[in-house]
């Protein structure tokens, strides 16, 4: 800095210190703890730090004029500089515009795509869930390809024989893949609920009204998350079915354009699994009402457990035991034998009803409690881990291949039906437990691979879409299908690819926007509302 510049700055500093307003502010300590003393000190500090508002206030403060002895005792500053009226942006209007923008962003293809393909997980997230969910969906699509192509086969009799081989049991018993989904739903419900419940909350006084609000709000959130996509699919399938009914050479027993027109309300209320298969709109959607009904029961018991833990445990155990006994009893009185035609005949009593499917959901809830209770820090010896792997694998192998002969007694079948779904869930529970803890292994490496995460996020849409795609492709063809291993394998690969491409589009259109909207309104619920205001800033 030059000597001239230094001299000029010193001159300015001297002038500032001589101005009356600054001189008075410098003596603010004489006023003690008065409010004006604090304000004068703030003013002096602002001038010393060359803050714009302090300099503007000093500049407009004025000074004593000549003529005091003749009565000129006015000390007038610059009024225009002293008071500056500023029209601030309307905060509520700005906030409203911002909210509209945020709402529109929820329907952004770019935003939704980023969320779908984001592979980062929370530190407490259960990564293994994504692998199990996606691989189970592949299994379901394989089974749906066989099941829904049956109407178009020119060798239906061979299909019944095809289901008897030991390797093919993986396909003919693929319905238990849905029980894996029930297990995952129960697991996530219990784990996520308990994750947000701290010990302090358990000590607090019980507020029954808050518990009821929590119950109903959770149900409403789930309904909003699932229903828009569900309704869109009902409309698409209904229109598609009506079109192909007039243009296709094939006649399909399932007629959504007729059943959905009459009974769509059952789907919207999530009760369609309680009615006959022939009157069901979207037969494959039976899973959604079952899962929703289990969610309501499970949530009620979890909330109850925060108040009366052992009462909730007794009720949960009673439901599980009752489901096992009832499943076996129904199988026995209907003299069920495990053949494909018998399975189809008894869909309404042994496949769709929620009371025969709730077992895996309860096992999932128990597993979620165990994982949260031990905070994912279950330490086992190597020999113990090997033993549990053998037991877990035995559970799954028993369920998959236990009926490969098919020609077994009614009593043996009833026992199998009673315990198979629950035993399968126990086998899956071990896989989840070992993958959630610090026990490394090839299974954990496979199921926690990040590539499964985006595909897992699309499973809901893929589940709704894949039977529709299978039907549409076959109805559009001019020739029948022939059940043969290589051709069906190629068909399965095509169905998987098309299902997930369409699932991505459906997710962008219906699922992701409503999930984001719900999240946005949940986050903004606690924010304060702003009022319109006109702010006047005074420099004096």
Tens of pLDDT along 87-141? Answer: 455 555 555 556 777 788 888 888 889 999 998 888 778 889 999 999 999 999 9
- Number of structural domains in the chain: 2
Q: Give the Cα-Cα-Cα angle 382, 384, 389 (nearest 5 degrees).
A: 95
Residues 516 and 454 in one domain: yes
Reported as a single tens digit per residue, the pLDDT across 361-373 is 999 999 999 998 8
Residues 46 and 110 in one domain: no
Q: Is residue 24 part of a domain?
A: yes
Q: Is residue 28 part of a domain?
A: yes
Of the candidates 328, 173, 346, 324, which has an alpha carbon nearest to the alpha carbon of residue 276?
346
Q: Retrieve residue 513's tokens.
A: 């926007």
Of the candidates 104, 132, 46, which has an alpha carbon nearest to the alpha carbon of residue 448?
132
Q: Retrieve residue 458's tokens.
A: 């699309």
Residues 462 and 534 in one domain: yes
Q: What backbone torsions phi and psi does residue 102 show, to the nearest 5 degrees? A: -65, -40
Residues 457 and 532 in one domain: yes
- What pLDDT does 506 receive? 95
Residues 103 and 133 in one domain: yes
Residues 478 and 521 in one domain: yes
Q: Is residue 387 part of a domain?
A: no
Q: Is residue 131 part of a domain?
A: yes
Alpha-carbon distance 196 to 191, whole Å?
A: 9
Q: Is residue 103 part of a domain?
A: yes
Residues 43 and 107 in one domain: no
Whether the CB-CB separation of 54 and 43 falls below 8 Å is answered with yes
Alpha-carbon distance 196 to 262, whole Å?
A: 42
With 0-12 CB in 10 A as exposed, 13-18 as middle and 19+ as buried, what is 82?
middle
Q: Is residue 456 part of a domain?
A: yes
Of the candidates 422, 410, 295, 287, which has an alpha carbon nearest to the alpha carbon of residue 353?
287
Residues 60 and 114 in one domain: no
| Residue-number span of the structural domain to which 503 is assigned | 80-90+97-152+450-539
The DSSP string of 190-242 is HHHHHHT--HHHHHSPP-HHHHHHHHHHHHHHHHHHHHHHHHHHHHHHHHHHH
Residues 53 and 84 in one domain: no
Tell me the torsion sign for CA atoms 511, 515, 520, 525: positive
- What pLDDT does 97 receive? 54
- What pLDDT does 535 receive? 34
**Entry pTM:** 0.78
What is the b/e burial string over 66-80, where b = at least 16 CB atoms within 10 angstroms of the residue's CB?
eeeeeeeeeeebeee
Tell me the torsion sign for CA atoms 420, 139, 433, 296: negative
- What pLDDT does 415 receive? 94
Report DSSP state, residue 154: S
Alpha-carbon distance 410 to 91, whole Å?
A: 73
- What pLDDT does 217 receive? 92
Residues 45 and 85 in one domain: no
Residues 59 and 103 in one domain: no
Q: Which residues of the chain have pLDDT under 70?
A: 1-18, 62-98, 160-165, 198-205, 376, 406, 440, 523-540
Q: Is residue 237 part of a domain?
A: no
Residues 103 and 37 in one domain: no
- What pLDDT does 394 receive? 93
């Amino acid at each position: 800095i030059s000597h001239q510049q230094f001299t000029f700055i010193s001159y300015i500093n001297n002038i500032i210190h001589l101005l009356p307003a600054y001189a008075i502010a410098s003596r603010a300590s004489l006023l003690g703890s008065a409010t004006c003393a604090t304000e004068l000190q703030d003013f002096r500090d602002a001038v010393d730090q060359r803050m714009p508002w302090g300099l503007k206030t000093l500049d407009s403060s004025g000074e004593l004029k000549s003529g005091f002895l003749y009565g000129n005792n006015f000390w007038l500053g610059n009024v225009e500089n002293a008071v500056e009226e500023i029209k601030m942006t309307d905060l509520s209007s700005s906030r409203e515009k911002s909210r509209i923008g945020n709402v529109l962003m929820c329907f952004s293809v770019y935003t939704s795509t980023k969320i779908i393909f984001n592979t980062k997980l929370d530190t407490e997230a259960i990564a293994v869930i994504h692998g199990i969910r996606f691989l189970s969906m592949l299994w379901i699509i394989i089974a749906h390809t066989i099941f829904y192509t049956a109407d178009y086969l020119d060798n239906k009799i061979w299909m019944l024989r095809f289901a008897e081989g030991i390797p093919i049991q993986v396909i003919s018993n693929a319905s238990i893949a849905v029980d894996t989904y029930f297990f995952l739903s129960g697991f996530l419900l219990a784990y996520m609920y308990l994750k947000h419940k701290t010990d302090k909350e358990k000590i607090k006084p019980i507020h029954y009204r808050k518990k009821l609000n929590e119950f109903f709000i959770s149900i409403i959130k789930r309904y909003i998350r699932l229903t828009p996509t569900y309704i869109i699919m009902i409309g698409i399938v209904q229109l598609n079915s009506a079109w192909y009914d007039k243009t296709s050479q094939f006649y399909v027993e399932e007629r959504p354009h007729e059943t959905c027109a009459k009974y769509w309300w059952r789907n919207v209320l999530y009760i369609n699994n309680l009615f006959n298969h022939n009157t069901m709109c979207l037969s494959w959607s039976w899973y959604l009402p079952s899962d929703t009904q289990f969610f309501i029961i499970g949530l009620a018991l979890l909330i109850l457990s925060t108040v009366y833990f052992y009462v909730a445990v007794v009720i949960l155990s009673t439901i599980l035991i009752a489901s096992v006994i009832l499943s076996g009893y129904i199988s026995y009185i209907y003299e069920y034998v495990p053949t494909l035609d018998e399975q189809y005949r008894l869909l309404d009593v042994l496949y769709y009803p929620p009371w025969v499917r709730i077992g895996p959901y309860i096992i999932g809830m128990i597993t979620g409690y165990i994982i949260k209770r031990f905070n994912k820090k279950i330490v086992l010896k190597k020999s113990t881990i090997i033993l549990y792997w053998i037991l877990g694998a035995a559970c799954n192998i028993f369920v998959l291949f236990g009926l490969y002969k098919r020609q077994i007694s009614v009593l043996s079948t009833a026992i199998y039906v009673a315990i198979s779904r629950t035993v399968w869930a126990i086998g899956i529970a071990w896989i989840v437990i070992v993958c959630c803890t610090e026990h490394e292994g090839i299974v954990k490496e496979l199921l926690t691979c990040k590539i499964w995460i985006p595909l897992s996020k699309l499973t809901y849409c893929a589940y709704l879409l894949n039977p529709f795609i299978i039907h549409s492709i076959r109805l559009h063809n001019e020739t029948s299908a022939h059940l043969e291993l290589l051709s069906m394998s190629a068909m399965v690969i095509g169905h998987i690819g098309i299902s997930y491409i369409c699932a991505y589009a459906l997710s962008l259109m219906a699922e992701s926007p409503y999930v984001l909207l719900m999240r946005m309104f949940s986050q903004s619920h606690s924010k304060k509302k702003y009022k319109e205001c006109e702010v006047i800033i005074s420099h004096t």
